[in-house]
Amino acid sequence: MQHVRAHVLICAGTGCTASGAAKVEAALREELAKKGLDKEIMVVETGCHGFCEMGPLVIVYPEGTFYVRVQPEDVPELVESHLYKGRIVQRLLYKEPVTHESIPNYNELSFYKKQMRMVLANCGHINPEIIEEYIAVGGYEALGKALTTMTPEQVVDEMKKSGLRGRGGGGFPTGMKWDFTRKAAGDKKYVVCNADEGDPGAFMDRSVLEGDPHRVIEGMAVCGYAIGADEGYIYVRAEYPLAIKRLRIAIKQAEDLGLLGENIFGSGFNFRLKIKEGAGAFVCGEETALLASIEGKRGMPRPRPPFPAISGLWGKPTNINNVETFANVPQIITKGADWYAGIGTEKSKGTKVFALTGRINHTGLAEVPMGITMREIIFDIGGGIPGGKKFKAVQIGGPSGGCLPTELLDLPIDYDSLIQAGAMMGSGGLVVMDETTCMVDLAKFFLTFTQAESCGKCTPCREGTKRMLEILTRITEGEGKETDIALLESMAKNIKTSALCGLGQTAPNPVLSTLRYFRDEYEAHIKEKRCPAGACAKLAGYQITDACKGCGLCTKTCPVAAISGEIKSRHAIDQSVCIKCGACMTKCPFKAIIKG
């Protein structure tokens, strides 16, 4: 066997595949063969690094050089210069948005420096389609340890001690849930992995399944042992074909090696896994709807109790956890609960993966310890707001969550602090907004989503969200009434307390939290028929600010004579006359006219 001196890692996640990674890989293999380097250099397809916006990503080891936006045309130079002569191709390196510095090494990127990649440790660094690569970095040791040195009770205790809480949204203590299911009466039990991932903007579960599927499988198997289940289901939305493909390969490989199946590690424990593809309705992520969907029924929630731990799949005790929750399990078993509990805050342990989207320089996935502040996530890791714009708020927890304004940027983030601030961890989707985002419009956006996804089973959610949406729509169109804010608030409270499932119970959250922090914006829409962010098309107006020097240029420019004012004093626009042509704004030499 030839000694392999270099590894070229090509990201084959969904993001990089979309930007052409497969063509780059083909070009690379061809070029290496042409130069006779194909035996000494190994090309490795990996999963997502969470930096998809910069894809296709290529990393060259042993140096660890990080190349971004690599195109097939770049490949000959990459091979000749770096792989043949050992010279880094400067122009393909990542440049920091603020300092414009070229960063050659993965670990030195500001995007990765403040992260603590535990769940994502292997994503982007191993080939997810080769089980040996997972085993080489310590894979399946947790399962081996649990099955051969621990009793199921000890596994449950370890999980309890670790303080891990469910990453699917609610933050329920995982060890406690396992304990309920373990103690539930019945011989037949199930383990279910929730990979429905319905939040708009969230893609952490997909990345874990694509980049490190064995970690989830191992976590589920440990759970099966702990609760006494011999069968598990992974419920994945059909829109995730790559995740499904990698899972199928991973399950097959694990079966072939005897890591799934009968008598695993000679312990007498049997465990099998099946994949169930979901149609991708948001409500199917709710656990009771999800279980109904696996059973082949319509994905509709049912009242709880009974909880799935007592009566789940086909009426049997069922432990359901999120992808990221299961992905945390192997390291807790191998490194111990005490180690894990040392990371994070008093009541929220470990790390959380966040998906950064919206008005932020580095969109992507960031895994950080609990207790980090939003400022660190958005400015240190996310690189701040593009285009010199000002930060306004961040929506956390998707349509079930709420927003945090500038004043809360230094709040240490964990499950409880977010609830107190009127938001929610949710799945960890972060949508960053700058000064040009209208908060009423934002609330409308999320409510439109939940409204469309409501399954229609109960009235408060079905009808209530529709009414709230109508009110929000009329406010953004300048038709809002003085009583609308109070009406929104009382409807929100009613829906929250009377809806059947979490979808309805949380649907009003974006409205309540924007009302809490940006009430003045609602009032400006209603009373002054003005959108301060200048985002609502029907309300967009022009305003003259204090910067006005009274030069009079705008008066001459306005085609409908909407501007008046004494020379050398501040001018004003008569909004009832203004036709919003914007001519005055471009003319003003002092930038005194703004949209909003």
Partner 1 sequence: MKTVEDLKRMREQFQSQTKLRHAGGIQIIVGMGTCGIAAGAREVMSAILDEIAKRKLQDVTVRQTGCIGMCEKEVLVDVVRPDEPRITYGKVTPAAVSKIIGEHVVNGRIVEELVVGKISQ
Interface residues with ligand SF4 (CB under 6 A) are 283, 301, 454-458, 461-462, 499-501, 503-504, 542, 544, 548-554, 557-558, 560, 562-563, 571, 573, 578-584, 587-588, 590, 592-593
Q: Which is nearer to ligand FMN, 192 or 264 (CB)?
A: 192
Q: Does 137 bind partner 1 (CB under 8 A)?
A: yes
Q: Which is nearer to ligand FMN, 112 or 235 (CB)?
A: 235
Residue 161 Cα to chain centre, angstroms: 27
| Partner that binds at residue 588, options ligand SF4, partner 1, ligand FES, none, CB closer than 5 to 8 Å by kind | ligand SF4
Q: Does 168 bind ligand FMN (CB under 6 A)?
A: yes
Near ligand FES by CB under 6 A: residue from 24, 25, 45, 55 = 55
Q: Which is nearer to ligand FES, 66 or 415 (CB)?
A: 66
| Helix (H) / strand (E) containing 521 | helix 519-527
Q: Which is nearer to partner 1, 264 or 404 (CB)?
A: 264
Q: Does 5 bind partner 1 (CB under 8 A)?
A: yes
Q: Does 7 bind partner 1 (CB under 8 A)?
A: yes
Q: CA of 146: how far to CAs of 126, 217, 230, 577, in Å?
A: 24, 14, 15, 75
| Partner that binds at residue 52, options partner 1, ligand FES, ligand FMN, none, CB closer than 5 to 8 Å by kind | ligand FES
Q: Does 535 bind ligand FES (CB under 6 A)?
A: no
Q: Which is nearer to ligand FES, 120 or 469 (CB)?
A: 120
Residue 194, SS3?
strand
| Partner that binds at residue 169, options ligand SF4, ligand FMN, ligand FES, none, CB closer than 5 to 8 Å by kind | ligand FMN
| Helix (H) / strand (E) containing 322 | strand 318-322
Question: In this chain, which stretch among 48-56, 223-231, 349-357, 464-472 interacts with ligand FES, using CB under 6 A?
Answer: 48-56
- Helices marked H in 356-438: 374-375, 415-420
- End-to-end CA distance of the chain: give it in Å, rounded: 68
Q: Is the dihedral of CA 218, 240, 352, 377 positive or negative?
A: positive
Q: How far is the CB of 21 from ligand FES (least distance, A)?
A: 7
Per-position b or e across 65-78, b if 16+ CB within 10 A of its CB: bbbbbbebebbeeb
Q: Nearest 5°: CA angle at 347, between 375 and 155?
A: 125
Q: Which is nearer to ligand FMN, 418 or 588 (CB)?
A: 418
- In the block, tokens 């929250």 appear at 496
| Partner that binds at residue 501, options ligand FES, partner 1, ligand SF4, none, CB closer than 5 to 8 Å by kind | ligand SF4
Q: Which is nearer to partner 1, 9 or 54 (CB)?
A: 9
| Partner that binds at residue 57, options ligand SF4, partner 1, ligand FES, none, CB closer than 5 to 8 Å by kind | ligand FES
Residues 6+ apart with CB under 8 A from 559: 579, 581, 583
Residues 58, 67 contacting (CB under 8 angstroms):
yes
Q: How far is the CB of 80 from partner 1 (least distance, A)?
A: 11
In this structure, what are the phi and psi dihedrals at residue 580, rounded to the nearest 5 degrees? 60, 45
Q: Does 51 bind ligand FES (CB under 6 A)?
A: yes
Q: Does 495 bind ligand FMN (CB under 6 A)?
A: no
Distance between CA atoms of 236 and 274, rounded to whole angstroms?
11
Residue 518, SS3?
coil
Token code pair at residue 582: 């914007």
Q: Does 204 bind ligand FES (CB under 6 A)?
A: no
Near partner 1 by CB under 8 A: residue from 6, 150, 419, 578 = 6
Near partner 1 by CB under 8 A: residue from 30, 53, 129, 141 = 141
Distance between CA atoms of 379 and 319, rounded to whole angstroms?
38
User: Quick one: which of 34, 84, 36, 31 has its CA closest to 60?
Assistant: 84
Q: How far is the CB of 168 from ligand FMN (least distance, A)?
A: 3
Q: Which is nearer to ligand SF4, 227 or 292 (CB)?
A: 292
Alpha-carbon torsion, ordered 404, 408, 411, 415, to 10 deg: -20
How many residues sit in the footprint of ligand FMN (CB under 6 A)? 22
| Partner that binds at residue 455, options ligand FMN, ligand SF4, partner 1, none, CB closer than 5 to 8 Å by kind | ligand SF4
Q: Does 148 bind partner 1 (CB under 8 A)?
A: yes
Distance between CA atoms of 254 and 251, rounded to whole angstroms?
5
Residues 6+ apart with CB under 8 A from 40: 2, 3, 4, 5, 6
Q: Nearest 5°: CA angle at 335, between 330 and 177?
A: 50
| Partner that binds at residue 549, options ligand SF4, partner 1, ligand FMN, none, CB closer than 5 to 8 Å by kind | ligand SF4
**Residue ranges binding partner 1 (CB under 8 A):** 1-7, 9, 40, 61-64, 84-87, 125-126, 132-133, 135-138, 140-141, 144-145, 148, 257-259, 265-266
